[in-house]
Structures are given as C-alpha cells and as structure tokens.
Structure 1
C-alpha cells in the first residue's frame, strides 16, 4: 500500500488522472483556459483520496495544474495562431504586467491559508459564469479595450488571480475582452497565448512556495505519493500531460465550429458547476 491506497485504488487514481488530462486538453482548446479550471477541482479529489493534508492540498492542486498547463497552452496557442485568431497587440501589451502579477501571486501562495485559494476560485468562476450565461449585448465596459495604465492594471490582475486559481488566465481575459466588445472566438484564441505567459512562471513560483510545506510535513507519506517538488506533483503532471496534448487541437476545432452564443453558454455552465464544488467544501 502507498499513502493508505491499495494497488487497485492506485490504478483507479492513475486512470482518473489520464482521463482528466484528455478532458483538460479539450477544454484548453475550446475555451482557451489552459485546462486549469478542470484540473484543480479534480486534483483536489485525487489528492484528498491520497491523504494529502488539507493545508497543502489546494496549493498542491494549483501548482500541479500550472505545470500541466505549460505544454497544453503552448499547443493550444499554436493551433489558434495558425488560424490567425490571436490578437498579438494585446499579447505585447500585457506580457510584462501579467508576469508581474504571477510573481506577486506566487509570493502570496507561500503564506496564504488554504481557504483563500477556494474563495478566489469561487468568486471569479461564478462572476464569469453570470456574465456568460446572463449577459445581454449591451453589457459592456466599452466598445474596445482601453489604452494606457488601465490596460496594464488589467494585465496585472489577470496574472495575480490566475496564479491563485491555478488557471492559465483564459477565464479573466475572456471575460475582459468580451466586456469590451471583442468576439468570444478571438478572446479564446488570445487567452491561449496568455496561458503560456502565466503557466511557466506560475509553476516555478509554486515550486518556490511549496518548499516550506515539505518541511512542515516530513513524515506524511501522502506528500511523497505525488512525488512533489514544492507544490508541483510530478506524478500528476506525468499522467495528465500526454493526453491533454493529444486532445487540445480537437478542442480548437470544436471552438471554431460552435456559434458565439453556444460557446458562451457552454463555458458559463461549466464555470458555475466547478465553482459550486468549492462552495460545498467551504461550508
């Protein structure tokens, strides 16, 4: 047995992670979200079964999610870029504020209580779901994205909150771009590029943030089950990455085949469901 799991349970856990990888890759392509909005809730259940301490469980989910998003988001971005759907001007404007926000989020992750990660996840997921499911065409901040300091502030917030949620930033950038009148397909494509900027420094930040946790739980076999480096589980990453890479291009094709409204409804419904899961765990 390993961390309280018998061989049959370990096989079941491994198969679950492989299936989750396929689903996260598909969603990375279809929604431009990097797959983290799927990975974090499912990792939470997997690491709970593995006996990972509650205090370390949520940040371990987020750090592992960010690590997995790296290759998935790169492949998703490439597929969208080849279709000419990525707004490179936004990418050039946002890269520095986003990376700064990621660094700030990594520092917060080192000291924040586990409950904070869940609260951030729920608040943002439900806000985005409400916008996508209920919004009318006149629900806008403006006819186009702002210029100057406000745009950079948006970039910083996207990087910060994405790092605390373990997602690739698509959730926030999709929301912002659609509020400023950009088409959902362009928002999804550009978000896949932002996920690359967020996931790489974000994963490194969670490795840094997790070193103190490894020292606090030296005798807990469960932390060894995921073979964690800081707050990044190597087993989780190894099992999920291959299938996520295979299914990301399928999601891209599905995104461009769906109508604008169907894509919004599908994305909004999913975000409401995963947000509800963490509300239950907070009660």
Structure 2
C-alpha cells in the first residue's frame, strides 16, 4: 500500500510542487492503526513520517524542476532562513497541542489553502515580493504551519508566490526546493521530540516510522519526474484548478474522520 501511495505522492509532488504530505498524512492516519500503533501516537507519527518522506520526495522533485529551469534561487534564498526556523518551530508546537486536535487543525489549514487558491484565480498577481524582513516573516509562517500539518509547504508557498506575480511553473519549482528545507527542519524536531516516548513501534526513529517511510520513498522519488513533465504541458489556470480541488478533497476527508 505504501508503494502505491508513493507513486501518487511522487506524481503530485512533481505536478504541484508539494512534498506529498497532503496525501501521506491522511493515508497514514488510516493505515497506522492497522499495524497496531497506539491511537495517541498516530497523528505525531503520521506528521513525522510525512515530513521525512518529503525530504526525499521534494528533493527529487526539485532536481527535476531544476533541469527544466523552473526554480528561482533568489526567491528560495530569501525564504530559506524563515522556512527552516519555522519548520523546526512547527514540530515544537505539535508537541504542545492535544493529540485529538491535530487532525482538525490539519483539515482547517488545508481548507484555508484551498480557499486562498480559488480566490487567487480571480485576481492577477502583480504585487512585488516583500522586503528581506517580509520574506523572512512569510517563510517563518509557512514553515510553522507546514511542519504542524506534516506538509512540505508547497501548498502554502505556491499560492504565496503566485499571488506575488511569479509564473506558476517557477512557483511550483521554487516551492519544491523550499519544501525540502522545511521538511528537514520539521523532521529533525519530531525525531528529537519522539526520543524516549513510550509505546513507539519497532523500527522508529523518534516519531518517524521507518517501514512506512521506505515504502513511500521507494516509488515517490522515481515518479516525481512524471509530474514535473506535466507542469510544462498544462496551462497555469488548469494547474490552479487541480491544486484547489485537490486541497478541498483532502480537507473534507480529514473533517469526516
């Protein structure tokens, strides 16, 4: 099952600039109880394992987008300090939030992302990017929310860059690179937080569940190339519609259970 999930995650990562957490987290919430993991650990393990898979999936996606010329490194450099600090901070916040609230927080974040993307279709993005301080603040917020939701930040970074006038393909490529940085920071925080936690399953590294991680990345790292190739063929408006509908579906699924 994780191998099939990895195929879908890789394709969506390349197509939409996301690390796949929007798919991985809900899927693991369903799958982890089936292998006997304690209910109070499921959401933390799902978030941590998702971020760990994003490190490799977003990295592979970013490599493919780099070959296609879709990454604006000046923007990535401006966002990097904030997203790294925010990514680490999100894992700390997740430890402080009651476990039963984490799925609802995830669903609310995703719903807001979908609404933002739908709204952005009605307005042309001609706003200049903010100053260095503004980029740091934006990156920090993206990092915190992304790590808290177990996502790589593409679902925040793509709308943000698109809103400021960046062409959709370059926004997706730049988001893939930034997502890998967020995931490294968030994953590191969850690993440290999980050390010494009682009842963790065998083959865990902190909250990261290694069997699920390896099953996902074995296929996701390969299939990112297919999604990245589609980006160059689909018009911007179609990409935005795919992105928004995808987010709405995931949000509803998490709200329903």
> What's the TM-score bracket when you normalise by the shorter of the two chains?
over 0.9
Is 1:207 the counterpart of 2:206? The answer is no
Question: Is the 1:25–1:243 contact (alpha carbons within 8 Å) kept by the matching residues of 2?
Answer: yes
Question: Is the 2:78–2:132 contact (alpha carbons within 8 Å) kept by the matching residues of 1?
Answer: no
Q: What does residue range 1-283 of structure 1 map to in structure 2 within 5 Å?
A: 16-138=1-123, 143-212=127-196, 214-215=197-198, 217=199, 223-224=200-201, 227-281=203-257
Q: Which runs of 5+ in 1 are unaligned?
A: 1-15, 218-222
Shift of 1:139: 6.4
Question: Is the 1:85–1:186 contact (alpha carbons within 8 Å) kept by the matching residues of 2?
Answer: yes
Question: Is the 1:106–1:202 contact (alpha carbons within 8 Å) kept by the matching residues of 2?
Answer: yes
Question: Is the 1:28–1:35 contact (alpha carbons within 8 Å) kept by the matching residues of 2?
Answer: yes
**1:4 alignment counterpart:** none
Shift of 1:254: 1.0
**1:11 alignment counterpart:** none
Shift of 1:105: 1.3
**In 2 relative to 1, CA 48–89 (structure 1 residues): closer, same or farther, beyond 3 Å?**
same
Cα offsets for 1:24-79 (capped at 9, x unmatched):
01111001101111111101100122232222111100100111111111111111
Q: Which runs of 5+ in 2 are unaligned?
A: none
**In 2 relative to 1, CA 48–153 (structure 1 residues): closer, same or farther, beyond 3 Å?**
same
Segment drifting more, 230-239 vs 108-117:
108-117
Question: Is the 1:34–1:168 contact (alpha carbons within 8 Å) kept by the matching residues of 2?
Answer: yes
Question: Is the 1:54–1:114 contact (alpha carbons within 8 Å) kept by the matching residues of 2?
Answer: no
CA RMSD of aligned residues (A): 1.6
Task: Give SS of 1:224's match.
Answer: coil
**In 2 relative to 1, CA 139–168 (structure 1 residues): closer, same or farther, beyond 3 Å?**
same
Cα offsets for 1:237-274 (capped at 9, x unmatched):
11111100110111100122111111111111111111
CA–CA distance in structure 2, aligned partners of residues 137 and 88 of structure 1: 28
Cα offsets for 1:174-194 (capped at 9, x unmatched):
121122122221111100100
CA–CA distance in structure 2, aligned partners of residues 205 and 130 of structure 1: 29
Q: TM-score, normalised by structure 1?
A: 0.86
Question: Is the 2:195–2:206 contact (alpha carbons within 8 Å) kept by the matching residues of 1?
Answer: yes
CA–CA distance in structure 2, aligned partners of residues 123 and 192 of structure 1: 22
